[in-house]
Structure 1
Amino acid sequence: MTSENVIPLETAQEWAQAWVSSGISPVKAYLIPEADITQLMAEPEVQDVRAYMGIDGNGVSKMMLVGVDKSGNDLIDYNNGLYVYDFTMPCPTTCDTSSPLYFVR
């Protein structure tokens, strides 16, 4: 496991606080269950995962996940079992209020 994409906690805190302060969205984070990542990564040819943001018909923020191939292309083909997943749970409601990345606006 490499640490090339690891950022210092202080940087993460700055970014998280800037997001909350911006007021762009009331969503602070998403909880993504391990089983969902495992299921998505088990799909054929999936190298990475891409997240898309959305809002459902009830105004609830959503994060949609798709598998991505080695060329950077989304793998979406319902006829062949390549789906768009919505397994995420937004914070608020699933927040870890003790996290050093949790900020209140």
Structure 2
Amino acid sequence: MTSENVIPLETAQEWAHAWVTSGISPVKAYLIPEADITQLMEEADVQDVRAYMGIDANGVSKMMLVGVDKNGKDLIDYSKGLYVYDFTMPCPNTCDVASPLYFER
């Protein structure tokens, strides 16, 4: 493994299976298009990305992403073009059912 943040596939499968069987949310994963990640990373002073989970007024699960600066602070200032992004492309609907991380409930 080349990164300290890489985990074994077996661990990822255990975590994904635990999430799906927990019943916490029907969402199994989110598809985030490369163009969206690129746009977020090109915002001024962005070093990292933070994901927030939410539920809208209709009960739909949401994943929101924000840029984070070198001090670990969220960069949210709409007047400066620092936005909160809704990358809601949840699985189900965008699932890779052949993935080793995909589990049915």
TM tier, smaller: over 0.9
1:25 corresponds in structure 2 to: 25
Q: Any idea what the Cα deviations from partners look like across 1:24-44, whole Å, max 9, x if unmatched? A: 000000000000000000001
2:4 corresponds in structure 1 to: 4
2:41 corresponds in structure 1 to: 41
Quick one: which amino acid aligns to residue 7 of structure 1?
A: I
Quick one: which amino acid aligns to residue 71 of structure 2?
A: S
Partner-residue secondary structure (3-state), 2:84: coil
When the two structures are aligned, how many residues end up with a matched partner? Answer: 104
* TM-score normalised per structure 1: 0.96
* TM-score normalised per structure 2: 0.96
1:58 corresponds in structure 2 to: 58
Aligned mates of 1:58, 1:96 — CA distance in 2: 25
1:75 corresponds in structure 2 to: 75
Aligned mates of 1:44, 1:92 — CA distance in 2: 33
* Preserved CA contact (<8 Å) 1:33 1:88: no
What value does the CA root-mean-square deviation take over the aligned residues? 0.8
Q: In the TM superposition, what is the alpha-carbon distance from 1:60 to its structure 2 partner?
A: 1.1
Larger CA deviation: 56-65 vs 68-77: 56-65
Structure 1: unaligned runs, 5 residues or longer: none
Percent identity over the alignment? 87
Question: Runs of 4+ in structure 1 displaced over 3 angstroms?
Answer: none
